[in-house]
Structure 1
Amino acid sequence: MQQRRWHRATSSLLGALTLTAAVTVTATPALAAPDKPEPLSVFPTDSLTVRDPAQLTGRRVALPTDGCGAPIACGLVQQLNQLDGFDLDPRIAVRFSGPVDPAATAARITLQPAGTDARIGVDRVVWDPATNTLYAHPAEQLAPSTTYRLRVQGGPANKATHDTFTTMSATDGLLDIQRQLDSGDAFAAVGIDDPALQVQGAFPARGTTVAWATDRGATDPAPTPTPVPTAALGGTIVFGSFQAPSWLTPDVTIPQTPTGDAGPRPVGAEQLPFVAVLPPGTPPPGGWPVAVFGHGFTSSTNAVFLAAVENARNGIATIGTNVVGHGYGPESGWVVTSGGTTTTIPAYGRGTDQNGDDAIESTEGSSATGAAAAQSSRDALRQTAADNMTLIRSLGGTDVDRDGTPDLSGEDVTYFGQSFGGIYGTMLTGVDPAVTRSVLNVPGGPVAEIARLSPSFRPLTAAALDAAGLLNSDDPTRNGFQEQLPLRGEGPVTVTVPGAVEIQEYLARSTWLSRPGSPETFAPLIEPERVLVQVAYGDQTVPNPTSYTLVDAGDLWSRTSLYRNDRATPPLPNPHSFLLVLPHPSSPQGQAQVAAFLGRGEVVDPDGDGNVWEVPVEDPSVLLSLNFPQPALRP
């Protein structure tokens, strides 16, 4: 089943999409030449690897470091040279001795996985007339640890060539971490004798007020508590912590180890927070069924209060912890007033002052630093997925009110995550069979593509390109760079902007390096019956093309629900957060769909015969476009 999803035959995709779609900038056929242009080189190729028996693939990447560019670009090459193969979505490059017709030539490029008859075409074609180089990407995500034959068939305007390359073992590191947790080795390695939850306060939801005193560093030494809406659920609010193994080094990276060994080793233990909302009433024997909630980027455990509403009504307890680098600083605390008594409880914020400005921002500490900056949030996401695995293994038998009976069940634990929580939730669900069912709300991938396409995050891409010396535009509406990259399904683009090719190369290499901590990598590991994906039409934070990539990678279209914000009354300005915007009709509808799937494994249509929800999505190709409201600048 897994291989079927990785190797669906897509040789017709180029003809169906790439050669017929209109784009902003299109290529014109090259002038006819009397001699057929000869392919001079192809990439990727196993000739740029060396033998390494310590790797699962038996290979290790060996890109040339001479002339690799600025220090950041050279550091990126050095990190890529630790990997055991090429990207699962490689930037294919074929350099010719002369001009070719990009569309016609791209139609003759195929990839064939070893030992199969499958043929995979290419998409997202770029022609660089300055170097006579055709760039493209596979029409579908490739399988890890697999050798492919890259073939350029000869035609009226060009000669033929072929080569082979091997993809990286992209899922290996996180799978190793899961095995270490399952066996108990990870806990033993860092001295955790008992990972059970430690309850530090339990309060009735009704009549209790909660405020959050956020530690924002030396610039705000005495934070004023900010009220947190708890949605008056009528059950019980629980605060506490648990110990979890950590694989992260101070620069927010997990050291690369040979893929043929047992994986990276944990480097220490960390005390992590949890917030839980229990349903009203008496728990069933063994405790309430539990859904772990994964919060979004810039958010924290305070989102549990909003996410738990429908679960509580359906007899499901909701619990969540903080993402790496979130929750502000370590001195953050909950100020809880209940029954006339005020109690302060540690909130265990995971933010750090990475840039030394004496301030701790909402996500500071979640991205790699120094020479590893190109890895971005790769290892923070892997660590967060591991933290949620630990949380799941800490649940069983938790006695919240200390009456001798368990309040939380550790059996058949489910998961749901919003935005960033949907991203690392895809990784979690793919590698951990302890997750019985999972709802992934507005996820997408790769993370680098989310940053490039989202108006909210595009400045982060600009900052990375600036550090690498690659900004190429004075147009402020483009955040200082113009990359000229087509979306999936669009026709070929001819490069006309100086520096665009270099930006494309840097983005492709950064994505390659980050692939072991990117959600689409793990989507093929998810059995469709275990998951429900919720996507919002016109999402400006996690753009629709990135959701398409994730869903298509796992062939999860039959399990994808589309919220059509363009048909809603009223539409949300940005539908990305629809699940947690409680006053809007989309929130109770979306949460009811979550609760039905987590509790009963049932996929329901939130508006029945209405047209605001498509369950499953009726036409996947609608997600190939950004669908931003007009006017909106296309990156």
Structure 2
Amino acid sequence: MVSRCKALWLAAVLVASTGCSLELDPAPPLRTVVRYDLAEGVIPLPSDVLLDEETGHLDLPIEADMSEAEVAFRQFLNSGQAWSTTFTGKVEFSAPVDRASITAHTFQIWDFSGTPQRLEWEWDDQEHSPGFEGPDVVLSDDATKVTVDPPRAGWTPGGRYVMLARGYDGGIRDATGRPIGIDQSFYFLRQSSKLDTYQNNRAFPGATRAERLEVAEKLEEVRLKVAPFFDFFESSELAPSDRIGRAEVAALWSFTVTTEPELAMDRPSQRIPLPFDLLIDPDTGLVDLSPAIWDTELEAGAKRQLGALDGFGLSANLMFELTRAVDPATVTTANISLYKLGEPPVQVPIEHLKVMAEEGEAGCQQSPVDEGCKHLVVVVQDDQLPLEPRTAYALVVRDGLRAADGDWIRPMLIGHFMRTEHPLVVGGENQLESVPDDLAERLETTRAKVAGLLDHLGRGAVITAWPFTTMNADPGIEAAIATAETLGTPVEPENIKWQTLTAFNKDEAFESLFPGPLAQLVREVYGLRLNGVHRVIEGTIKTPYLLDPVTRRMREDGGHELQDVHFVMTIPETATDLQPVPMVIFAHAIVTDRRFLLTIAGELAQKGFGAIAIDLPFHGERITCVDASLVALPNFLSDELKDLFGFYDNLIMLPPCVSGDQASCSPTGECLDANGNPEPFNSFLMLDGKPAVMDMKPASGAAFLDVNDIPHISDHFVQALVDLGAVKHSLRHGDWQTASGFALRTDSFYFAGQSLGAIIGAVYVAVDPDTTRAVLNVPGADMVDLFTESIYFKPQFDDYFAREGIVIGSYEQERLLNVARWLIDSVDPQTLAFRWQSGGPPTLLQIDSGPPTGDIIIPNRTSRVLQRVSGLPMREYPSILHADLIVPLLGDAMLNDMAAFLAGEIDQ
């Protein structure tokens, strides 16, 4: 039918001059109209005018002068039984219209899938009503086109919808304030009487009565498609105030939605594969994830963070979904494949494939599967992770993947464009009639990345394929380390205090760390760890602080303030005025602080090294009060004891402030007592309000790894890198000879890090050109899985999920962890570890791998990921306790090896 529409409508237009029984209204002054003219190929879409009900598929006209891309597009649409569940509604006006006149009264969307009901739409750029999930309406910049984004869940499969625009008085107005009218072609569709009667036959062109009646019959077929809807809007089924007379309607069209299962690729509803290069803004080169009204605060924060990245995660799983439940038996690596793009492309092994409903995998492992089993998760083989940075990959889905009822799966429109062999833009010219130029350019840029792969594989059995490009974290890391130098941060050390050590006062150096009345023996034992140290210097240096003091996130204005950061430095007994002292930069573990340098400084000094450590962000003197603690254990109390004590929390944790549950945290992170007055932070083993043994605070580091703000943990790692860069900047350019009494070597440095300090240090050392040798003690990589697999940290993450109402094992948890991987990959050691394969300073990894568990805090698997990717040597020690390095006797072997490696006495 539709292939003959042009002739039909041209014929219909001639009725005005025939003098037959069908008459037009007296010719009105020229009005703005809703364009509804098949002779020009312009009608509102989607529309059942283009649905051939006899053959059961769409039937868009295909003309000889169309581009190859347009022909392929229409052939794809015509292969579908009806319109896609995510097809965007489009209506065009002949001149600009007044947005204020487009209201729920003048532009209506109705769902006729069951009992007719009107859908409440809202403008996409307005503040949405609570719980609103579409449809959204958009008016183009030139005010001549309205588009309608489907509801979040899409148009109902198998449903039928009607859209209508009111004109004339009380309807939509043009930009000059005049009411819009009716397009001449649409006049005939609005008639209530039959068009193909004997009396009307001369209203249509043709040499014979039979030819004229044939044209009339075709036109009548179109009229009958919309006639029931005109009848409905005039009927008594509606309240009088809701009825709409035919004469008020400037345009009305219906469309039917496919029941075929589709592979979802729809940006407005955000049901789109992740990762996918279509989500890269071509102007900025950065990730572009549009906010959605249904985003949680967590999701909105994650999108803002991801918008600063130039690509996708190296360790995240790949995710996509269907519009109907999938047959799990067809979810195989034969039907879903991953390739590294290149000449030739290289297939990347997949570890396993998950099928998930919102509740998790269980309902998808039974027969029949739950109807919600439409989420697919691709887990790349572990030894292939992380993926290579700044590298293009593609996921290919073949037609062996089927819906749970065996139906074939169709791609959505974007999926077709990814699969087609025909360029969408040629020589700068858009080849598609109904796709805007900027979108066509974006689609073509993305399509071209997989075109060679599909040429190689063949397209015949492919549902669709899509490319993604991994991030390049190096520039951001390099910039962070160079921040102090770039900004010209002041370099002079300040607030200097010396303590020169003798054989009799080494224990005094530990009075700050072990101040309690029960700590004298501890100080004496630790004093032995300062053998070889001549002088201990304390003071502050300046660092550019990029974080907001309230949110603890990167400042929105991109600014900074200078912050005084405390340091501890040690000078060896071998130091002389004849040779500058080589310096080790030490990064401490989580919960600890700069003072723990003293626990390893003696062995370093005996190798001739001086050393310096600062408080990492939210540690030591930079501690911040948050409603969390890294010093926490699962609640082991029985139900009876929980009732007795009234303690039902999932975790037993040491409170951050001395008054415990009576205290609160100020917006900027101070401890406040019950009256709102500042009070001290809590310490381990308090006695009479003071530390009994050690001045180590449970709140130290809690804000750094704040699980309540997962999207912004990466900001804290960036700040730590800025701080380490500030240390180097100060050492290189400041007057440290006056501060320490000795000249320091500044052309190169050594590095040692423990736990968190080793994780941060792995990133720092991989990038820093001025590090000569390094030792990373109990480091890890693949950090999201590090925390979820950790014997120590996992309960804290599980508690977070419980508090947020996120079910362990659910798809929501899978999605959240996946986004977290993507974010953390920007500062994860595994992302930078490739650099050691082509250079980088000699570096030794040290881990505790004692049976049965290995390191109880940083799982050995994650340390070995770092070793595998970097190719660095690793030494293992028979312990599970993690903090051995800073414990006399227990960690002596580790410490000896650390110092010997830095001195170049051993190489592995």
Structure 1 residue matching 2:376: 3-state secondary structure: strand
Task: Work out the CA distance in 2 between the residues paired with 1:404 and 1:240.
Answer: 10
Aligned to 2:393: 148
Aligned to 2:835: 525
1:561 to 874, 890, 893: 874
Cα deviation digits, residues 304-324 of structure 1 (max 9, x gap): 111223212211122211111
Residues 780 and 786 in structure 2, CA contact (< 8 A), matched pair in contact too: yes
Residue 44 in 1 paired to residue 274 in 2? yes
2:379 to 137, 145, 148: 137
1:206 to 489, 503, 509: 503
Residues 340 and 347 in structure 2, CA contact (< 8 A), matched pair in contact too: yes
Structure 2 residue matching 1:61: 3-state secondary structure: coil
Task: Work out the CA distance in 1 between the residues paired with 2:707 and 2:860.
Answer: 31
Equivalent residue letter for 1:543: P
Equivalent residue letter for 1:110: L
Deviation of 1:150 after TM superposition, in Å, equals 1.8
Larger Rg: 2
1:540 to 851, 856, 863: 856
Residue 594 in 1 paired to residue 898 in 2? yes
Task: Work out the CA distance in 2 between the residues paired with 1:141 and 1:458.
Answer: 22
Residues 453 and 543 in structure 1, CA contact (< 8 A), matched pair in contact too: yes
Matches within 5 A, 1:261-410: 265=559, 267-283=560-576, 285-328=578-621, 353=669, 358=679, 360=681, 361-364=697-700, 367=703, 373-396=709-732, 406-410=742-746
Task: Work out the CA distance in 1 between the residues paired with 2:744 and 2:470.
Answer: 42
Aligned to 1:252: 552
Quickly say closer, same or farther: Cα 1:247–1:397, change in 2 above 3 A. Answer: closer
Quickly say closer, same or farther: Cα 1:404–1:465, change in 2 above 3 A. Answer: closer
Aligned to 2:321: 95
Aligned to 2:311: 85
Task: Work out the CA distance in 1 between the residues paired with 2:583 and 2:733.
Answer: 12
Residue 185 in 1 paired to residue 486 in 2? yes
Deviation of 1:561 after TM superposition, in Å, equals 1.4
Equivalent residue letter for 1:200: K
2:815 to 492, 505, 513: 505
Deviation of 1:419 after TM superposition, in Å, equals 0.4
Task: Work out the CA distance in 2 between the residues paired with 1:146 and 1:49.
Answer: 16
Structure 2 residue matching 1:65: 3-state secondary structure: coil
Deviation of 1:508 after TM superposition, in Å, equals 1.3
2:333 to 98, 105, 111: 105
Deviation of 1:185 after TM superposition, in Å, equals 2.7
TM-score computed with the length of structure 1 as normaliser: 0.68
Residues 776 and 843 in structure 2, CA contact (< 8 A), matched pair in contact too: yes
Equivalent residue letter for 1:563: E
Deviation of 1:65 after TM superposition, in Å, equals 1.9
Residue 550 in 1 paired to residue 866 in 2? yes
Quickly say closer, same or farther: Cα 1:198–1:289, change in 2 above 3 A. Answer: farther
Residues 397 and 406 in structure 1, CA contact (< 8 A), matched pair in contact too: no
Residue 60 in 1 paired to residue 287 in 2? yes
Equivalent residue letter for 2:757: G
2:466 to 159, 163, 167: 163
Residues 206 and 235 in structure 1, CA contact (< 8 A), matched pair in contact too: no
Residues 337 and 347 in structure 2, CA contact (< 8 A), matched pair in contact too: no
Task: Work out the CA distance in 2 between the residues paired with 1:366 and 1:173.
Answer: 25
Task: Work out the CA distance in 2 between the residues paired with 1:327 and 1:285.
Answer: 35
Give unmatched runs, 5+ long, in structure 1.
1-35, 216-221, 258-263, 332-350, 473-481, 484-499, 566-571, 605-635
Deviation of 1:255 after TM superposition, in Å, equals 4.4
Residues 102 and 127 in structure 1, CA contact (< 8 A), matched pair in contact too: no
Deviation of 1:280 after TM superposition, in Å, equals 1.8
1:127 to 344, 355, 367: 355
> Which is worse superposed, 130-139 or 575-584?
130-139
Task: Work out the CA distance in 2 between the residues paired with 1:277 and 1:462.
Answer: 41
Residue 242 in 1 paired to residue 541 in 2? yes
Task: Work out the CA distance in 1 between the residues paired with 2:304 and 2:774.
Answer: 37
Task: Work out the CA distance in 1 between the residues paired with 2:275 and 2:900.
Answer: 48
Deviation of 1:252 after TM superposition, in Å, equals 2.0
**Root-mean-square deviation (CA), in Å?**
3.7
Deviation of 1:325 after TM superposition, in Å, equals 0.7
Quickly say closer, same or farther: Cα 1:101–1:396, change in 2 above 3 A. Answer: same
Structure 1 residue matching 2:314: 3-state secondary structure: coil
Task: Work out the CA distance in 1 between the residues paired with 2:299 and 2:895.
Answer: 44
Task: Work out the CA distance in 1 between the residues paired with 2:335 and 2:542.
Answer: 54
Quickly say closer, same or farther: Cα 1:63–1:205, change in 2 above 3 A. Answer: farther
Residues 515 and 521 in structure 1, CA contact (< 8 A), matched pair in contact too: yes
Cα deviation digits, residues 328-367 of structure 1 (max 9, x gap): 5689xxxxxxxxxxxxxxxxxxx97367565534445663
- The number of equivalent residue pairs is 489
Deviation of 1:64 after TM superposition, in Å, equals 5.9
Residues 774 and 841 in structure 2, CA contact (< 8 A), matched pair in contact too: no
Give unmatched runs, 5+ long, in structure 2.
1-259, 266-271, 357-363, 365-371, 403-407, 409-460, 625-666, 674-678, 682-696
Deviation of 1:536 after TM superposition, in Å, equals 2.2
Deviation of 1:503 after TM superposition, in Å, equals 1.0
Equivalent residue letter for 1:459: P
Tell me which of the two structures has the higher relative contact order, counting C-alpha pairs closer than 8 angstroms and 6 or more residues apart.
1
Task: Work out the CA distance in 2 between the residues paired with 1:396 and 1:225.
Answer: 41
Quickly say closer, same or farther: Cα 1:45–1:390, change in 2 above 3 A. Answer: closer
Deviation of 1:141 after TM superposition, in Å, equals 1.4
Cα deviation digits, residues 38-96 of structure 1 (max 9, x gap): 85567225365253423xxx24322562444x433344345434544322223212435
Task: Work out the CA distance in 1 between the residues paired with 2:345 and 2:496.
Answer: 56
Residues 51 and 59 in structure 1, CA contact (< 8 A), matched pair in contact too: yes
Residue 443 in 1 paired to residue 779 in 2? yes
> Which is worse superposed, 419-428 or 268-277?
268-277
Matches within 5 A, 1:443-522: 443-470=779-806, 472=807, 482-483=808-809, 500-522=810-832
Quickly say closer, same or farther: Cα 1:61–1:540, change in 2 above 3 A. Answer: same
Residues 195 and 393 in structure 1, CA contact (< 8 A), matched pair in contact too: no
Structure 1 residue matching 2:471: 3-state secondary structure: coil
Residues 533 and 605 in structure 2, CA contact (< 8 A), matched pair in contact too: yes
Deviation of 1:528 after TM superposition, in Å, equals 5.1
What percentage of residue pairs aligned between the two structures are identical? 21
Matches within 5 A, 1:580-591: 580-584=886-890, 587-591=891-895
